[in-house]
Structure 1
């Protein structure tokens, strides 16, 4: 099958390499020094689940790629709307555009630009990044990818995607019964973990050892769960406890991509994370003071580093 990876960074690069190794036609869409390195030296993946180097076509122009079976959208959430305007050359009648991004609004943003029938929801559980131009470093996490049609249908295209990903080495592929539940479930964790490590500029261990901060971490998870349920999302009752146990077991030096972007003066995904919780909460009349606090602390930095 033919795949385009729109945003061949930590997540997109990882999946692109695994799919190429499995024999699929993979096109990488990237930019800057990373793109230059991909064109010259190919894509190098360094992972505890197996290293590999693949030579895939790479470009910054989707028109060079043409119609694909699947487009994996792996750009930062703040770039989703712009990316959506560039997808047309990749789309055929049944092309699936799979969002594998942070947040719960990317699918809607994509649907507004290309039509809901193309959009597939996705969630990734992996810690990977561009270690250097052309090199993806998988530093941790289960390399678990969850995906599904927005209406829960078991279409031919989602079954085929499930088969393709399931056959890739180093990929834990899961076809969700309800992808909306999975999106909000991860959202509850990522808002707490990203929000707190960025707002404090400290690793998770320091947050856990400070009672007030650890309580705030929990309350962020609880607030996101409350908003989800108010919107009609059937989140399991145990979601908060599951994430708190998970966070308790993470390495004490764990940070987040939001912390990385903040400390490296890069654009922040705040609009798609804690600020999005605030927006959703207003629509369903749920109070989210902890998410409001994180948003207030980080908003000046988000404005300072905004590249738009």
Structure 2
């Protein structure tokens, strides 16, 4: 399958690397020092389940790639619209853009740019970052992808993509309720990202302190209340399931938001806590926990450089 990875950071670099290692026709779209390192020395992936080194095709220019069958769309959420516009030269009649971002409104933004027929939602659970130019470090998380059509149908294209992903060793599955899955992940990452970043704590440290654990749960409960107010059919035990998932993680796990904060990068705070606050205002649902995270982290995002090599 001819595949482009738009956003070759922790998520795109890891999953795209597995696809390239399995000899799929993969081109990485990257920039700056990370692109230069990939072009010169290849892409090195360090993972808790085994390291590997590949020498893939890489470019800064989607126009140089031409139409592809699949785009793994894995930029930071604050770059969704700019990156969505940039990939237009890679979109053919049958191209699928598999959205692997944090947040619950990226698919809608991409549909407005590329057309609804090209966009497919995905849900990723992984902790993986760029640790140095040309080096991806996958340090925690189950390394899974769920993908599905918006209407829940199991179509030939989603089955074909699933086959390609599983064929290279990716733990992937089809979802018939991808919007619910997106919101269940959103519920988790708003707490995991927000509290690990705000508290400079690991998930083990958060859950070991009753007061901080209550804060973590409160963030989740607000997201669940907002989602239900917006008509999302979240299961009644969504918060308990998310907490059980958190308890099963490596105790030292943090989040990409915490990593970006520590590196002085821009933050996905608008996509996470900021979105919850805005949705809460629209639906009349109080969101004080998420507002606290948003208010405290937003200045760090605002003072970060407008663009960094990724």
- C-alpha distance in structure 1 between counterparts of 2:85 and 2:115, whole Å: 12
- C-alpha distance in structure 2 between counterparts of 1:251 and 1:22, whole Å: 28
Report the CA distance between 1:247 and its aligned residue: 2.1
Report the CA distance between 1:151 and its aligned residue: 2.0
- Alpha carbons 1:268, 1:306 under 8 Å: kept: no
- Please, what TM-score do these two structures have when normalized by structure 2? 0.95
- Determine helix, strand or coil for the equivalent of 2:215: helix
Q: Does 1:247 align with 2:246?
A: yes
Partner residue, 2:195: 196
Task: Rate the CA distance shift 1:216–1:48 in 2: closer, same or farther, 3 A.
Answer: closer
Report the CA distance between 1:112 and its aligned residue: 1.6
- Determine helix, strand or coil for the equivalent of 1:95: strand
Any residues of structure 2 matched to 1:79-158 within 5 Å, and which?
79-158=79-158
- C-alpha distance in structure 1 between counterparts of 2:215 and 2:273, whole Å: 13
Cα deviation per residue 1:23-48 (whole Å; 9 max; x = unaligned)? 21000000111100111122222223
- Determine helix, strand or coil for the equivalent of 2:126: strand
Partner residue, 2:301: 302
- C-alpha distance in structure 1 between counterparts of 2:184 and 2:36, whole Å: 37
Return 26-35 or 148-157, whichever deviates more: 148-157
Partner residue, 1:275: 274
Report the CA distance between 1:124 and its aligned residue: 0.7
Show structure 1 runs of 5+ residues with no match. Answer: none
Return 197-206 or 142-151, whichever deviates more: 197-206
Cα deviation per residue 1:173-225 (whole Å; 9 max; x = unaligned)? 11111110110000001000111111122333332233222111101111111
- C-alpha distance in structure 2 between counterparts of 1:3 and 1:79, whole Å: 20
Task: Rate the CA distance shift 1:15–1:135 in 2: closer, same or farther, 3 A.
Answer: same
- C-alpha distance in structure 2 between counterparts of 1:229 and 1:19, whole Å: 37
State the 4+ residue runs in structure 1 displaced beyond 4 angstroms.
none
- C-alpha distance in structure 2 between counterparts of 1:260 and 1:131, whole Å: 10
- Determine helix, strand or coil for the equivalent of 1:94: strand
- Alpha carbons 1:47, 1:137 under 8 Å: kept: yes
Show structure 2 runs of 5+ residues with no match. Answer: none
- Alpha carbons 2:2, 2:69 under 8 Å: kept: yes
Report the CA distance between 1:306 and its aligned residue: 5.4
Partner residue, 1:210: 209
Cα deviation per residue 1:136-160 (whole Å; 9 max; x = unaligned)? 1221222111111122222222111
Task: Rate the CA distance shift 1:22–1:251 in 2: closer, same or farther, 3 A.
Answer: closer
- C-alpha distance in structure 1 between counterparts of 2:247 and 2:24, whole Å: 38
- Alpha carbons 2:140, 2:250 under 8 Å: kept: no
Report the CA distance between 1:238 and its aligned residue: 1.5
Point out which structure has higher relative CO (alpha carbons under 8 A, 6+ apart): 2
- C-alpha distance in structure 1 between counterparts of 2:265 and 2:39, whole Å: 25
- C-alpha distance in structure 2 between counterparts of 1:266 and 1:222, whole Å: 28
- Alpha carbons 2:80, 2:110 under 8 Å: kept: yes
Partner residue, 2:29: 29
- C-alpha distance in structure 2 between counterparts of 1:158 and 1:93, whole Å: 16
Return 224-233 or 88-97, whichever deviates more: 224-233
Task: Rate the CA distance shift 1:272–1:118 in 2: closer, same or farther, 3 A.
Answer: same
- C-alpha distance in structure 2 between counterparts of 1:222 and 1:21, whole Å: 41
- Alpha carbons 1:5, 1:73 under 8 Å: kept: yes
Partner residue, 2:61: 61
Q: CA RMSD in A?
A: 1.5
Report the CA distance between 1:257 and its aligned residue: 1.2
- Determine helix, strand or coil for the equivalent of 1:109: helix
- Alpha carbons 2:99, 2:119 under 8 Å: kept: yes
Partner residue, 2:18: 18
